[in-house]
Amino acid sequence: MALTESNVKVVGGQMNYRRLTSRVEQRIYDIGKAHIWLSMINDKMKPKKWNKPNTKGTKVTFDYIGTKEDLEVAFDEFEVYIKNVNRTHGTDLALKREGESEV
């Protein structure tokens, strides 16, 4: 049997983000985490667990986003994180989902 794209599917994994270290100021870390989180969602990865940062970075365990419902849940979780960052650091990060009308 020949191996084709339809036979192989990534369902999860773990990545290490070397720039999110324990040496980074908390505000910068949280904003960087938001950028990485959004990038992961856009690449169909839903962060499942963010390990504590160390000097080598932050490991993130993720699941594959396979359905529209999974995508909505991922964006909802991300939106909660953004609101927390804004409240904690006084930032004005915002999420605009595709297809949403401007208010």
Residues 30-89 have pLDDT tens digits of 999 999 999 999 999 999 999 999 999 999 999 999 999 999 999 999 999 999 999 999
- Expressed in percent and rounded to 5, the helix, strand and coil fractions of the chain are 40, 20, 40
The pLDDT of residue 103 is: 38
Confidence of residue 102 (pLDDT cuts 50, 70, 90): very low
Distance CA 48, CA 30 (A): 17
3-class DSSP state of 89: helix
Structure tokens at 37: 């989180």
Structure tokens at 10: 């990534």
The pLDDT of residue 11 is: 84
Distance CA 15, CA 36 (A): 11
